Amino acid sequence: VLAPLSAQRGLRRQRREHGDAKVVSIVGYTNAGKSTLLRALTGAKVLVADQLFATLDPTTRRLHLGQHRACTLTDTVGFIRDLPKDLVQAFRATLEELEGADLLLHVIDLSDPRLADKMESVRQTLHDLQLRTIDELVVLNKSDTVEPYVARALCDKYRGVAVSAHDGGGLPALLQQIAQRLYGDDYDLQQIG
């Protein structure tokens, strides 16, 4: 089952590499809201479930950023500490998608009391996979579940963007940051639309 999926991903990746679309991959600990964010940004019909490994096969959709610019946005399998051996193949598929990324959206659940540990676990995994050189944008998700002052403090601490993929709060600011990271500091939100 995984071999044909890997071949399909290779073909999709090859098409992206020969085009001009930038590649953005969503990473994060399991249940941080990665699939919900993909759906909120692109309208993709993807499974969103509060369970381990609801996403096993990376899902890629186009994200329009205005001025005839776009990127591909890929949802990947959630990271965990000590990945079970039987899921290593699925994780390799994620690695293949991450290798070609121009930007990683590192999604963190703002309401999780262990967010710092989980953030470090994801970063350690990226380091172990030799992917820490890819530009990272921290996305502090589920801002609708915490007090605004908590979201602001954590944004300052982790230099991230607070969003609620559930209700859309903060998504324009996130799109602005994605566009700026991909296309330059002078990229203006007014150009997205």
Question: How far is residue 181's CA from residue 178's CA, in Å, rounded to a whole number?
Answer: 5
> String of b and e for 56-70 (b: at least 16 CB within 10 Å)?
bbbbbbebebbeebb
Indicate the pLDDT class of residue 1, thresholds 50, 70 and 90.
very low
Instruction: Give the strand pairing for 59-64 and 70-75.
Output: antiparallel
As for how many domains the chain has, the answer is 1
Given this model, what pLDDT does residue 169 score?
Answer: 96
For residue 18, the model assigns a pLDDT of 43
Given a cut of 50, whether residue 12 has pLDDT beyond it is no
24-38, 87-101, 144-158: least confident range: 87-101
DSSP the chain: -HHHHHHHHHHHHHHHHHSS-EEEEEEEBTTSSHHHHHHHHH-------SSTTS--S-EEEEEE-STT-EEEEEE-PPB-SS--GGGHHHHHHHHHHHHT-SEEEEEEETT-TTHHHHHHHHHHHHHHTT-TTSEEEEEEE-GGGS-HHHHHHHHHHHT-EE--TTT-TTHHHHHHHHHHHHH-TT--GGG--
Mean pLDDT for 138-145 is 97
- Whole-structure pTM value: 0.80
Per-residue pLDDT reduced to its tens digit, 108-125: 999 999 999 999 988 988
pLDDT tens sequence across 15-70: 445 466 899 999 999 889 998 999 999 986 654 555 444 445 668 888 888 777 88
Q: Report the CATH number at residue 39.
A: 3.40.50.300
Structural domain of 81: 2-191
Give residue 8's pLDDT. Answer: 43
Q: What is the pLDDT of residue 17?
A: 53
The CA distances from residue 123 to 117, 156, 179, in Å, are: 10, 18, 23
